Amino acid sequence: MIAPPKPDLVTVNIDGKEIAVPKGTNVIEAARLVNVDVPHYCYHPKLTIVGNCRMCLIEMGLPAVDPATKAPIIDPATGKQKINWIPRPQIGCGTNVSPGLHVKTTSPMVKEAREGVMEFLLINHPLDCPICDQAGECKLQEQSTGYGRGYSRFIEQKNVKPKRTQLGPRVTLDDERCILCSRCIRFSKEVAKDDVLGFVDRGSYSTLTCFPGKQLANNYSLNTVDICPVGALTSTDFRFKMRVWFLKQTNSIDPESSVGANTVVWSREGQIYRVTPRRNDEVNDTWMADSGRELFKAVNAPDRLATTASIDTLVAQAAALFKANSTPGAIAVVGSGRSSVEEQFLTKQLAAALNATASTHLVSRVGQGDKLLISADRNPNVRGALVTGLISALPSQKLTALAAAIDAGKIKVVVSVGEDLAAVGLTAAQLAKVSFVYLGTHVNPTSAAAQVVLPTLSVFEKNGTFINQQFRLQKFAKAVPGPSGATDDLIVLAKLVTAASARLSSAPLAAIPSDLGSLWKLLAAEVPVLGPITYANLPETGLLLDATPFVALPFVEGETLHFKPVAPAVAVTV
Amino acid sequence: MAAPAQRRIIFQHIDEPGYSNDLACYVRNGGYEVLKKSVTRPPAELIDEVKKSGLRGRGGAGFPCGVKWGLVDRKSGKPIYLIVNADESEPGTFKDRYIMHQDPHQLIEGTMISCFANNVKQAYIYIRGEMPHGARILEKAIAEARAAGFVGKNILGTTYSCDIFVHRGAGAYICGEETGLIESLEGKRANPRIKPPYFPAVLGLYQCPTIVNNVETLCHVKYIVEHGGDAYTKVGTPNNTGTRIFCVSGHVQRPGYYEFEAGKITLGQLLYEVCGGPLPGRTFKAVIPGGSSAKILRFGERFKGKRKVGAEMVDYDWGVEDVPMDFDSLGMIGTMGGSGGVIVMDDTVNMVEALANINAFYSHESCGQCTPCREGSLWMKKITTRMVHGQARNEDAALLKSVADQIPGRTICAFGEACSWPTQSFIAKFGDEFKQYPETKKTAKPAGAHELV
């Protein structure tokens, strides 16, 4: 049953199925809505339309009207309005819907046209799928099963083109595989705003290349690899490393800034091989920055923190430190804008248990925004700290208040959640004056100075949520197990909270949960904004939270893709 | 029946002894008088004359010029551009070059009249890259006309201003395609645009409404405005009004350019009487009547059907020699009048080799944007080249036809048709020659045959 068309909707008929779609939708997208796949190469939903691959050819017709009276012509055989079918195939990508448009995607004409295009695309293609990185996720390979001939009629010499051009530091081009769809050119020009790619030569000898003296070196260059429908543009890093069908895909979030680009982490047997963007039309479209794709390399870095001691032993050492400094205000907590919402919530509990709520700090990381997918706030989750109440004002870059308190001898112990205090303004002398409990993943001056080091996990090794600059709550999932000798942050924090509260009262709190399900029940109870949400029902594309309590805060972000600094946030409705 | 006399409207002064391409000579011969009268008339009236005349574009497609002007979006508030398509790149065509070389002011006057009629403030002459001499002549002629007040600011003392700029192409066939031309003029690769939405009349040069007309078409406009649209319809035949310039090349005694009233002369009259027939001892074998992309005609084949004469339908039964040279008649027999380039081949020509030549041209000129044309044109070239220079197979004819059939109607521009029609028609009409080619190759070439390139 199709709802009556609204004014901005247009009813079209695709392979006999009626559907109402918004004006301006093209046939490929309209067909997608009725689960009809229109094969295509050059068309990309986030780029301009050039209509050059000719794969999305469809047969279309419009309702017949009498040219003189404009009255519909009724076909006596069916009793419906006659359809004037256009005798030549049309491109689906370049054809926008119009009222009563009829489309056939499976007619003999369409099949023949697509088979013709498919054969043409393959004649000069090297057909080197066995050694091609794209194999398994290659549109050419995919469509050739539907429209390919299965054998070649081409007995001539294939065109010879450059096989391994370095277009830039991260992208390698195999020109022979290129089907000249021009997606990469349009991406560079339209999205990355770095117009460096173009074709030289003509006809079948056309060759993709960088303009003389230019390089595809911008921080979005690897998106061209993602959108390349074939194996022409390859990631120099991922090239020849792994067959894609062996890789497990885990949804994640790019932690490099408060944009929170949605990503997929591709891993096998506990090893991450690559990170690619995941489509979210409200956040990052289908793009992400190159810098975010390299972050996984820190997972196996040699300076990763690990311990052979049991976590309970270490927590006991921390508890001893807490006990030895039980004067109110003797302990400070430095939370992190890189921690998940859940971790920040536990950090807040820890601060409360340590009587350190007044001396709880957060470190801000401010850089240059690139107006696209990296914002000025390089912490992925400062808003999480605000929402959970870990902090109530925006963090500053230098912890001067903490430094002063240390100098004054008030602070004896600092609990740092992953933050290197040497980098935020504390001198070596100040570091030497206090004892540290450090939770973190990598070695740094603070971990070196710490009395108790609790190795924890990176974003790729745990579950959690971030709140991005739009106040969009987004979840990331564990892609690979953490290294031995490191423990999930939530477990560590929960144990610390328990240990700290034991110090304060004879009757310790009920055990603080460290699993996400139970933790979210607590969160929902304590943080009203998160009330209706559970971790399990959080959509993969995130959920906008009510940002009204925080609109007055002077956030550092400038404009980025799908984000304007002063845009009013939409209240969450569940 | 004897051939009619030439009717030189456009080529009136071409090759005239003593006629030079400077302004003084043009004005001495009555030049710019039409422009002077035109600027005193309402522009809509001039457009009406062109509409009444039934003038069809001379670039190849034969699209009615008045209709083209009528499609221009005049409500957008954007400037309207006029582009003179002087890319003349269809092999076998050499008419516009003579206009530009020998009578450039005729083009400039026609252009200025058309600009005035359409309220165009800026016109471009996009001239083919291989015609540097023509570009220099045009530059000089425009400078002369500008100095004399025919072009530029406030022409002829009126408030109307319009300037003409000459833009040289870099030598690509596809720049003759109007949207490819526009891209090239904008400084980009000449990749034709998708239509819809980029119809030049609405979203042309710099996304503004744009008229693209052939050189010869604009010269006809001058004649039409001078003599009136109704008078023009009396030249030629109904629906094929005016004159056509035929550029005859190949195996005839007197190749060259000839201007006749459209439809008043048959192909046989043109080739046998006007051009003096085949070379001594040869016979005609085939003719391409409208530039190399038009479908070939085989001497000896017959065309039957019904056609409209006046109000009634009459039967026709034509040999190649009987076909009237106009858009509709040539269209009826499955080829086209195109750009008027008549390419004649006699019995020394092997059709496989001729096709190899044509295919080499089109594969070289495909812009490479659409898959079918890009890959198909090169594939056909590789097949015919292999047949000629390597090993020919019996099944190649069928393969060629199948490849050619996969191209037309599936590309952005008409190049798909242009590159596949030769192969389709050569194989349809000379299929036996393609099948026998493996044997033919073993025998000596006929005397007088051209060497293979």
**Domains, in order of start, for chain A:** 9-115 (3.10.20.740), 311-533 (3.40.50.740)
Q: What phi and psi, each to the nearest 5 degrees, are found at residue B264?
A: -90, -10
pLDDT over 70, % of chain B: 100
Q: Which two tokens stand for residue B446?
A: 């006929």
Q: Is A156 on the interface with B (CB under 8 A)?
A: yes
| Tokens at A93, concatenated | 């990508």
Contacts of A54 in chain B (CB under 8 A): 370-372, 410-411
Question: Could you tell me which of B278, B277, B257 has the C-alpha nearest to residue B342?
Answer: B257
CB contact under 8 A, A153 and B410: no
Q: How many CB atoms lie within 10 A of CB B395?
A: 10
Between strands B341-346 and B243-250, the pairing is: parallel
Using a CB-CB cut-off of 8 Å, the residues of chain A touching B371 are 52-55, 117, 120-121, 179-180
CB pair distance less than 8 Å for B377 and A203: yes
- Report yes or no on B113 lying in a domain: yes
Helices and strands in chain A: count of H runs, count of E runs: 14, 22
- Partner residue facing A203 (CB), from B378, B386, B410: B378
Residue B15 lies inside a defined structural domain of this protein: no
Q: What are phi and psi of A341, to 5 degrees?
A: -55, -45
Backbone phi and psi for residue B89, each to the nearest 5 degrees, phi listed first:
-115, 0
User: Does residue B215 lie in a domain region?
Assistant: yes
Cα separation of the two ends of chain B = 40
Residue B213 sits at the vertex; the CA angle it makes with B207 and B215, to the nearest 5 degrees, is 140
Total number of domains constituting chain B: 3
Is there a contact between B200 and B178 (Cβ–Cβ < 8 Å)? yes
| Pick from A120, A153, A179: CB nearest B399 | A153
What CA–CA distance (Å, rounded) separates A101 from A20? 11
- CA B170 to chain A, closest CA, distance in angstroms equals 13
Give the best residue of A48, A49, A52 to mutate against chain B (max B CB count within 10 A). A52
CA distances A327 to A314, A355, A435, Å, are 22, 9, 15
Helix (H, G, I), strand (E, B) or coil at B163: strand
Q: At B64, is the secondary structure helix, strand, or coil?
A: strand
Q: Please report residues of B whose CB lies closer than 8 A to that of A211.
A: none
Does residue B204 sit in the same domain as residue B251? no
Which residues from B are below 8 Å from A55, CB to CB? 371
Residues of B in contact with A180 (CB under 8 A): 368-369, 371, 374
**Confidence at residue B453, expressed as pLDDT on a 0 to 100 scale:** 64
Residue indicated by tokens 């990749």: B191
A572 pLDDT more than 80: no
Q: Which of residues 349 through 378 in chain B touch A, CB cutoff 8 A?
A: 363-372, 374-378
Mutation target for A interface from B174, B193, B194, B410: give the one with most A CBs within 10 A.
Answer: B410
pLDDT at A29 over 90: yes
pLDDT greater than 90 at residue A513 = no
pLDDT tens, A443-502?
Answer: 999 999 999 999 999 999 999 999 999 999 999 999 999 999 999 999 999 999 998 887
Mark whether B321 and B421 lie in a shared domain. Answer: no
| Secondary structure (3-state) at B164 | strand
For residue range A319-341, list pLDDT tens digits in order.
999 999 988 889 999 999 999 99
Tell me, yes or no, whether B92 and B181 share the same domain. Answer: yes
Nearest chain A residue to B378 by CA distance is A204
| Interchain proximity B369–A180, CB inside 8 Å | yes
pLDDT tens-digit map of B38-88: 999 999 999 999 999 999 999 989 999 999 999 999 999 999 999 999 999
- Closest residue on chain A to B385 (Cα): A156
The CATH number of residue B422's host domain is 1.20.1440.230
Same domain, B337 and B368: no
Contact flag A120-B375 (C-beta cutoff 8 Å): yes
Q: Helix or strand or coil: residue A163?
A: coil
Q: How big is the CA angle at A158 (ends A156 and A162), to the nearest 5 degrees?
A: 165
Pairing of strands B243-250, A83-85: unpaired
Tell whether A154 is within 8 A of chain B (Cβ). Answer: yes
Flag if B374 and A206 touch (Cβ within 8 Å).
yes
Distance from CA of B295 to the nearest CA of A (A): 20
Residue in chain B nearest A58 by alpha carbon: B410
Contact A117 B410 (CB under 8 A): yes
- Residues A156, B372: C-beta atoms closer than 8 Å: no
Distance, CA of B166 to CA of B411 (rounded, Å): 30
Of B214, B269, B277, B268, the closest CA to residue B242 belongs to B214
Residue B377 dihedral angles phi and psi, to the nearest 5°: -65, -40
Of A337, A418, A333, residue with least CA distance to A383: A337
Measured distance CA(A273)–CA(A275) in Å, rounded: 7
Tokens of B24: 């003084």
Cross-chain residue pair B365–A153, CB shorter than 8 Å: no
Token pair for residue B27?
């004005």
Q: Which residues pair with B305 in a beta bridge?
A: B316
The per-residue pLDDT for A81 is 87
On whether the CB atoms of residues B94 and B257 are closer than 8 A, the answer is yes
Q: Are residues B199 and B328 in the same domain?
A: no
Q: Is residue B450 part of a domain?
A: no
In angstroms, what CA-CA distances link B314 with A291, B304, B307? 75, 11, 5
Look at B374 and A203 and tell me if their CB atoms are within 8 Å.
yes
Q: Do A156 and B383 touch (CB under 8 A)?
A: yes
How many distinct helices (H) and strands (E) make up chain B? 17, 13
Q: Which residue is listed with tokens 């594939």?
A: B379
Q: By CA distance, what is B366's nearest residue in A?
A: A203
Domain boundary among B210, B234, B258: B234
What's the pLDDT score for residue A506?
47
Torsion-angle region of residue A16: left (phi > 0), alpha (psi -120 to 50) or beta? left
Looking from the CA of B168 toward its CB, the CA atoms found within 13 Å total: 13
Query: Which residue among B194, B375, B409 places its CB closest to the CB of A204?
Result: B375
Residue pair B288/B251 in contact (Cβ under 8 Å)? The answer is no
B205 and B272 housed in the same domain: no
Nearest-angstrom CA–CA distance, B173 and B176: 6
> Where does the pLDDT of residue A148 fall: very low under 50, low under 70, confident under 90, or very high at 90 and above?
very high
Question: A57 and B410 in contact by Cβ < 8 A?
Answer: yes
d(CA B271, CA B287): 10
Asked if the structure places residue B5 within a domain, the reply is: no
Cα distances (Å, whole numbers) of residue B169 to B59, B91, B133, B446: 17, 17, 13, 40
Residue at which a domain ends, from B346, B374, B401: B346
For Cα atoms B20, B93, B176, give the angle at the middle one, nearest 5 degrees: 100
Regarding whether B279 and B190 lie in a shared domain, the answer is no
Q: Please give the pLDDT value at position A509.
A: 56
Q: Say if residues B177 and B373 touch (Cβ distance below 8 Å).
A: no
Q: Quick check: A120 contacting B, CB < 8 Å?
A: yes
Q: Note the pLDDT of residue B272.
A: 96
How far does the CA of residue B364 sit from the closest CA of chain A (Å)? 7
Domain boundary among B219, B234, B249: B234
Q: Which residues pair with A222 in a beta bridge?
A: none
The vertex-B51 CA angle with B48 and B52, nearest 5°, equals 85
Peptide bond into B197 cis (omega under 30): yes
Considering only the beta carbons, identify the residue of A121, A198, A203 that sits closest to B364: A203
Helix, strand, coil shares of chain B as percentages rounded to 5? Answer: 45, 15, 40
Task: Round to whole Å and give the CA distance between A514 and A512.
Answer: 7
Comparing CA positions, the residue from A171, A123, A113 lying closest to residue A147 is A113
Residues A335 and A347 sit within 8 Å (Cβ to Cβ): yes
Residue B324 lies in a domain: yes
Is residue A569 scored above 70 in pLDDT?
no
Both B182 and B226 in one domain: the answer is: yes
Shortest Cα distance from A95 to chain B (angstroms)?
Answer: 8
Q: If DSSP codes are grouped into helix, strand and coil, which group holds residue A85?
A: strand
Q: For residue B167, list its beta bridge partners.
A: B126
Residue B165: strand, helix, or coil: strand
- Does one domain contain both B287 and B216? no
Contact B434, B356 (CB under 8 A): no
B324 with B395, same domain? Answer: no
- Note whether B124 and B199 are same-domain residues: yes
CA of A123: which chain B residue's CA is closest?
B375
State the CATH number of the domain containing residue B334. 3.10.20.600
Q: How confident is the model at residue A1 (pLDDT cuts 50, 70, 90)?
A: very low
Q: Which residue of A has its CA nearest to B407?
A: A116
At residue A251, what is the residue type? N
Residue A572 · residue A559 · CB < 8 Å: no
Instruction: Choose among B189, B375, B407: nearest Cβ to A124.
Output: B375
Name residues 405-434 of chain B within 8 A of A (Cβ).
406-407, 409-412
- Classify residue A32 as left (phi > 0), alpha (psi -120 to 50) or beta: alpha
B359 and B267 in a single domain? The answer is no
Question: At A11, which helix (H) or strand (E)?
Answer: strand A9-14
- Across the interface, do A120 and B383 touch by the CB < 8 Å criterion? no
Task: Please list every residue in chain A whose beta carbon sits closer than 8 Å to the beta carbon of residue B172.
Answer: 202
Helix axes B415-440, B396-405, angle to 10 degrees: 180
Q: A220 near A289, Cβ under 8 Å?
A: yes
In a domain? residue B363:
yes
Whole-angstrom distance, CA of residue A334 vs CA of residue A337: 10
**B140 CB burial (10 A radius; 0-12, 13-18, 19+):** middle
Yes or no: say if A280 and A541 are a contact pair by the CB < 8 Å rule. Answer: yes
Show which of residues 163-202 on chain A sit within 8 Å of chain B, judged by CB atoms: 179-180, 198-199, 201-202
**H/E element, A151:** none
B249 falls within a domain: yes
Query: Which residue range(s) make up the domain with B311?
Result: 237-346
Whole-number percent of chain A with pLDDT over 90:
81
Alpha helices (H) in A131-192, listed in sequence order: 139-147, 183-190
Residues 6+ apart with CB under 8 A from B442: none
- Chain centre to alpha carbon of residue B203: 24
Q: Which residues of B touch A204 (CB under 8 A)?
A: 363, 366, 368, 374-375, 377-378
* One pLDDT digit (tens) per residue for chain B, 453 residues: 688 999 999 999 999 999 999 999 999 999 999 999 999 999 999 999 999 999 999 998 999 999 999 999 999 999 999 999 999 999 999 999 999 999 999 999 999 999 999 999 999 999 999 999 999 999 999 999 999 999 999 999 999 999 999 999 998 999 999 999 999 999 999 999 999 899 999 999 999 999 999 999 999 999 999 999 999 999 999 999 999 999 999 999 999 999 999 999 999 999 999 999 999 999 999 999 999 999 999 999 999 999 988 788 999 999 999 999 999 999 999 999 999 999 999 999 999 999 999 999 999 999 999 999 999 999 999 999 999 999 999 999 999 999 999 999 999 999 999 999 999 999 999 999 999 999 998 888 877 777 776
